Structure 1
Amino acid sequence: MSAAAGLVTAAAVVGVWLDRLPGHLVFAAAPPLFASWLPHTGPGTPAAVLLALAVVARGPELADRLPWRRALLAGYSAAVAWTFALALVDGWQRGLAARLTSGHEYLHEVPGVTDIGAMLHGFTARILDFQPDSWTTHVAGHPPGALLVFVWLDRIGLAGGGWAAVTCVLVGCLAAVAVPVTLRAAGAEPVARAALPFAVLFPGAVWVGASADGLFTGVTATGVALLAVGARAAGPERVVPACLAGGALLGFGAFLSYGLVLLAAVALVVPLLLRHAWAAGLAAAGALAVVAAFALAGFWWPDGYHLVVRRYYQGIGAERWYAYWVWADLAALAVAVGPAAVAGLRRAAALARGYRPGHAGGGRSAVVPLAGAAALAVLAADLSGLSKAEVERIWLPFAVWLVSAAALLPSASRRWWLAGQAATALAVNHLLLTNW
């Protein structure tokens, strides 16, 4: 914990100093987070504080004794309420409705998409910057699946920033139940129940409400959970649809954000834990079906990826200093996952040194490889240099799996760790105005 606190402090001090030098090597007003200093309260403050107190006081007990489905329903409801309350600290307009409507965001391009087929066929031609019809920053920086989601919302009558933000929150909070469901399917119900309150009071909820990366998190976490449920199920009538659906969601995740191909590491852990090779094959088939559908529609993922790397270095990605962000990114991630996850990961690392499948402390054997795979994915993303800053938002799909490690903490201390998680989120949202 002291090492993580020192890392965050060092990243803040060094980041502020670097950004005052000629050239602005950081491009973040409150490093290591992409935010501005603005101590404030708002209409969501009382609800956020009360929810935090309620989950800290009763969360572990209810997660242990409620029937499983009721525990999941309570967990999802609490996660949604917590995320909305945090967002409303900034008010409805600034905290939610206007988040996805700026000139850099997806909704800016939605009115111009009058023909989805033509958009997909011509998508790559508009990725590079400094063209008359270049995509706006976020659309250019992602595959077309991200834009498609908001176009579909518009088509069914849920137009505008408010509906987009609500969708991001509702889908993003599915991760709060998807992670425990995965752990339970892997034979770790006590650990799954221990993880549930930590998944609810996830400090990264600050960025789930409301950013598209919150939506990406919910989609991909649900994909992993479906794969786990399918691999655990008995009989092909349950295994096949669940694994195919899980693979399809994970495949679609790769068309929401290029970096989410790294979640393959987490997904592969599931059939290994459950020793179900067929589940991996079915999931791969579901994912490949999505790849084929986009290819037939006119978008080839590798072409988009190579162009987006070029686009990245046409903007501030070329200016942000890699030598700072390669370690400061980890400080930003530490804030997003919270102190309980950091402490839990330390325990997971200790367990991993003597890890053998099925022999790492009962249900704990599921947490170690899942959190370890997420950590490896983060390391790959970090070293790539394509995630310099803003990772408190960009790495949310990996962060939710890192938080599962908090379930390894001693039961007697869990309420204190939950309080630390809540305090982290409340401090971020009340001291800073986050950009997402």
Structure 2
Amino acid sequence: MIPARLRDLGAALAAALLVLAAVLVGRHIQSAHHTLFVHWPPLFAEWDPHVGPGTPAAVAVAAAVVAYGPVAAVRLRWRPLLATALGAALAWTWSLALVDGWQRGVAGRLTTRNEYLRVIDRFHDIPAALRGFDDHILSGSPAPWPAHIAGHPPGATLTFVLLDRIGLAGGGWAGAWCITVGATACVAVLVTVRLLADEDLARRAAPFLVLAPAAVWVGASADGYFTAVAAWAVALLALAATGHRPRAAAFGSGLLFGLTCYLSYGLALFALIGAGALVAAGDLLRPVVQGLSGGQVRPVGQVRSGGGARYRPWLGALPFLLVGLAVVPVVFTLAGFDWWEAYHLLIKRYYEGVGGTRPYGYWVWANLACTVLVVGLASAAGLNRAGTALVRRHRLRPGPDRAAAAEARLAVLVLAAVLALLLADLSGMSKAETERIWLPFALWILPSCALLPHPRAWLTAQAVLALLLNHLLLTGW
């Protein structure tokens, strides 16, 4: 049998080779046919080695997290750990964004011709803009929306319209919003992992969530903001599913899930991650874990009542989840926006533009290479460990059995994210630019790194990758 560490290295090597193949094949296709519409395939980026004001801070944050992150994650109390993780994630994301400078890295990101701030003045009458939103999606329509506005439900644009209305106008505030809100996603994932797996795994995942290469695109793209909204929807669902103020948490989760679907059409697939969270939280997972580990497992969602036990506390909160889930769709529908009609119009526009030219045969696998660059080689090794956690069949003693059950629950959550990402890939509606589009899915792959031994070595690989990407390439976001 191949040792686990060699399998980890093999998984990381396979991921690196996938990226190399995507680069080489992509450069050939772009040079010969000019059909990829990216300058440094598979990423939407340009070769531009540079340093900037954020460089010293980025290097310092990376060094500090690698040196002290694993120890701090073990020693700090839980709430101080969450605060520390948030502070470190903010420092990491902001410093990476400022490698490109304030204007190019933050303030100018959301003001380019395809971005949201270009249409703020067209929302002076918000109800009228929503009623007529669908009329401007197709490229041949009168005054068509720029690409990103047409490509998303109006909830995305309305966020920046509302920021403008409260006095936070301009690209600087918009970029700061996306970076700051986006960085909170790591806290949401930590809370979820602690509730659904165990605290030890959440602590071990913390440095990897902080030092994620994904931060390159969280700062500053609107998808970083979308990532945080979707992550908190899952975190609140985990709270409800494990009996922590289930009604309020379920309502809040439904509200955020509904908002998520009105920020990006593709994030409707987040229902799979929500389902994975419910499976991991309740006794639905018990037969799976028992069969794979050979032991008796008490589900996370089980709570004591009298002399017996009851399962799935989230069932009582389900009506609150559904009510919360309905709020945002009802508001937008009453305002005159038809989500389904808009989505079908978007499909037509997508294939009228570069989406109809970009070759599916390349992007269906090159998108996965983009994901490797977002989550890092450590996550490839972590996925190897997550798969192993679900297929182990040998019988364990009671102590290790609990650890195996926690790892299996974490694996369910991670693999639900992988499934959602693969479905998005197969849809053909995300050909290129997935380094930002799939940030909400990719974030949930990172906790698999908690299963890896020698965290400092893997953290170093993650940090080096992010620093190289940000300093050698000028990314589109």
TM category (shorter chain) comes to over 0.9
Question: Is 2:401 the partner of 1:401?
Answer: no
Measure, in 1, the Cα distance between the counterparts of 2:197 and 2:444. Answer: 17
Question: Is 2:249 the partner of 1:242?
Answer: yes
Measure, in 1, the Cα distance between the counterparts of 2:393 and 2:236. Answer: 25
| Deviations, residues 379-412 of structure 1 (Å, cap 9, x unaligned) | 10101110000001000000000111111112xx
Question: Is 2:339 the partner of 1:305?
Answer: no
2:39 counterpart residue number: 29
**Inter-CA distance 179–37: structure 2 relative to 1 (3 Å threshold):** same
Measure, in 2, the Cα distance between the counterparts of 1:307 and 1:72. Answer: 42
The letter of the residue matching 1:363 is A
The letter of the residue matching 2:415 is G
| Deviations, residues 299-335 of structure 1 (Å, cap 9, x unaligned) | 1211111111111111111111110000000001000
Query: Is the partner of 2:474 in helix, strand or coil?
Result: strand
Measure, in 2, the Cα distance between the counterparts of 1:190 and 1:300. Answer: 45
Tell me if structure 2 keeps the 8 A contact 1:217–1:396: yes
1:12 counterpart residue number: 23
Measure, in 1, the Cα distance between the counterparts of 2:164 and 2:345. Answer: 27
Tell me if structure 2 keeps the 8 A contact 1:169–1:209: yes
Measure, in 1, the Cα distance between the counterparts of 2:202 and 2:402. Answer: 17
**Inter-CA distance 280–381: structure 2 relative to 1 (3 Å threshold):** farther
1:369 counterpart residue number: 412
2:467 counterpart residue number: 426
Query: Which of residues 262, 268, 272 in structure 1 aligns to 2:269?
Result: 262
| Deviations, residues 190-248 of structure 1 (Å, cap 9, x unaligned) | 001111111000101000000000000011101111111222235xxx21111110111
Measure, in 2, the Cα distance between the counterparts of 1:9 and 1:86. Answer: 24
Measure, in 1, the Cα distance between the counterparts of 2:57 and 2:149. Answer: 34
Question: Is 2:124 the partner of 1:81?
Answer: no
Tell me, which stretches of 5 or more residues in structure 2 are unaligned?
1-11, 283-311, 395-400
The letter of the residue matching 1:350 is T
**Inter-CA distance 336–296: structure 2 relative to 1 (3 Å threshold):** same
Query: Which of residues 301, 310, 319 in structure 1 aligns to 2:357?
Result: 319
Question: Is 2:258 the partner of 1:251?
Answer: yes
Measure, in 2, the Cα distance between the counterparts of 1:193 and 1:350. Answer: 20
2:192 counterpart residue number: 182
Query: Is the partner of 1:362 in helix, strand or coil?
Result: helix
**Inter-CA distance 302–252: structure 2 relative to 1 (3 Å threshold):** same
TM-score (norm 1): 0.96
2:455 counterpart residue number: 414
How many Å apart are 1:360 and its aligned residue? 7.1
Query: Which of residues 61, 68, 72 in structure 2 aligns to 1:62?
Result: 72
The letter of the residue matching 1:177 is V
Tell me if structure 2 keeps the 8 A contact 1:355–1:365: no
Measure, in 1, the Cα distance between the counterparts of 2:160 and 2:200. Answer: 38
Question: Is 2:423 the partner of 1:380?
Answer: yes
Q: Let me know the Cα RMSD of the aligned residues.
A: 1.4
How many Å apart are 1:186 and its aligned residue? 1.3
1:106 counterpart residue number: 116
Tell me if structure 2 keeps the 8 A contact 1:103–1:136: yes
TM-score (norm 2): 0.88
Q: Which has the larger radius of gyration?
A: 2
Tell me if structure 1 keeps the 8 A contact 2:46–2:475: yes
**Inter-CA distance 262–355: structure 2 relative to 1 (3 Å threshold):** farther
Residues 44-63 of structure 1: pairs in structure 2 closer than 5 A: 44-63=54-73
1:390 counterpart residue number: 433
How many Å apart are 1:355 and its aligned residue? 8.3
Measure, in 1, the Cα distance between the counterparts of 2:278 and 2:321. Answer: 10
Which one is further off, 276-285 or 186-195? 276-285
The letter of the residue matching 1:27 is F
How many Å apart are 1:132 and its aligned residue? 2.8
Measure, in 2, the Cα distance between the counterparts of 1:354 and 1:304. Answer: 46
Query: Is the partner of 1:256 in helix, strand or coil?
Result: coil
Query: Is the partner of 2:443 in helix, strand or coil?
Result: helix
Query: Which of residues 331, 342, 345 in structure 2 aligns to 1:293?
Result: 331
Query: Is the partner of 1:401 in helix, strand or coil?
Result: coil
Q: Percent identity?
A: 52
1:330 counterpart residue number: 368
The letter of the residue matching 1:362 is A
**Inter-CA distance 295–359: structure 2 relative to 1 (3 Å threshold):** farther
| Deviations, residues 404-428 of structure 1 (Å, cap 9, x unaligned) | 1111112xx1011111111110000
Tell me if structure 2 keeps the 8 A contact 1:186–1:274: yes
Question: Is 2:160 the partner of 1:150?
Answer: yes
2:300 counterpart residue number: none
Tell me if structure 1 keeps the 8 A contact 2:197–2:407: no
1:206 counterpart residue number: 216
| Deviations, residues 91-128 of structure 1 (Å, cap 9, x unaligned) | 00000000000111000001221111111111111111
Measure, in 2, the Cα distance between the counterparts of 1:93 and 1:345. Answer: 37
The letter of the residue matching 2:112 is S
